[in-house]
Amino acid sequence: MAFLAKVSKALTIAGSDCGGGAGIQADLKTFQELGAYGMSVITAVTAQNTLGVQGVYPMEAAAVIRQLDSIGEDLTPDAIKTGMLFSAEIIQAVSAKVKQYGWKNLVIDPVMVAKGGSSLLQQEAIQSLIKHLIPLALVTTPNIPEAELLTRMPIRTLHDREEAAKRIIQMGSQYVVIKGGHDTGKDGIIDLVYDGGHFAYMESKRIDTQHTHGTGCTYSAAVTAELASGKTVDEAVRTAKGFIQAAIEDQLSIGGGHGPTNHFAYQRRMRGAATGPQRFLQ
């Protein structure tokens, strides 16, 4: 009899980035690298590359709901992440299906604006995110501008960030990670982790590069893959930090603008750096 291998399953509910650096594509690459079987529900198709976003084409809510049901009727994700959700209608559909199927380990990356400035979430949908989705979250992972919009407070100091983290916990998320990539005033980067009880600070050196397209997607996908395999939130956020650090450090030469991160890097380092796809490019 054939041996059937058990594998952890991770689902991403997000937008497609045809250039492969962010969105669904970044998430699936990250799931694969961290050993999780990846599944996807597509909320929007974007036309984008390393130069910017050229087009945003949201899916009808009915198409998102049908995809969620196809997953729910047959496949049970061990962890789920949301990325670009675009509209209040899609957010409410996702919230209803997460509840209907009893999905656990929900990671919310509250994607709002791409680094080039293109809007990936309608302004009026922010309230919907707060009301319908964040209360279901195990972990919410805003960057600093997203945390400001969620909490309606300016974040300049670490103390401000702690206050914003408290407000996001009050919205119902069990953990929050406020990522520090946008805090450009410092040599180091601090990601703040809060569980409603105590603050933890994950520090790393800031890498001087413009190739950071998709960092937030990749980071939250790594957290999701780790949760899917049974890791605690503390373990998952630490592995994700290592994953994104390696992915930013080992830069790839792709495109003429803000290039993607290197999804191969973490496992390539684990294997001793002697093998892996980059070998063929040197």
Ligand X SMILES: Nc1ncnc2c1ncn2[C@@H]1O[C@H](COP(=O)(O)OP(=O)(O)O)[C@@H](O)[C@H]1O
Q: Which residues carry out catalysis?
A: 179, 212, 214-217
Q: List strand residue ranges (DSSP E) for 144-281, in order.
A: 175-178, 188-194, 199-205
Record the tokens describing residue 216, joined without a space: 């937030």
Nearest one of 273, 256, 226 to 264, comparing CA atoms:
273
Record the tokens describing residue 147, joined without a space: 């945390």
Q: Does 143 bind ligand X (CB under 6 A)?
A: yes
Site for ligand X in 236-275 (CB under 6 A): 241, 244, 248
The residue ranges that bind ligand LCLJCK34 (CB under 6 A) are 14-15, 17, 22-23, 46, 83-84, 111, 114-115, 120, 213-217
- As measured in angstroms, the least distance from the Cβ of 185 to ligand X is 13
Cβ contact 121:86 at 8 Å:
yes
Q: What is the DSSP letter of 185?
A: T
Residue 179 partner contact from ligand LCLJCK34, ligand X, none using kind-dependent CB cut-offs of 5 to 8 Å = ligand X
Residue 23 partner contact from ligand LCLJCK34, ligand X, none using kind-dependent CB cut-offs of 5 to 8 Å = ligand LCLJCK34
174 vs 204 by CB, closer to ligand X: 204
Please, is 123 exposed, middle or buried when counting C-beta atoms within 10 Å of its C-beta (0-12, 13-18, 19+)? exposed
**116 CA to centre of own chain:** 18
Site for ligand X in 178-237 (CB under 6 A): 179-182, 189, 191, 204, 206-207, 209, 212, 215-216, 219
112 vs 138 by CB, closer to ligand X: 112
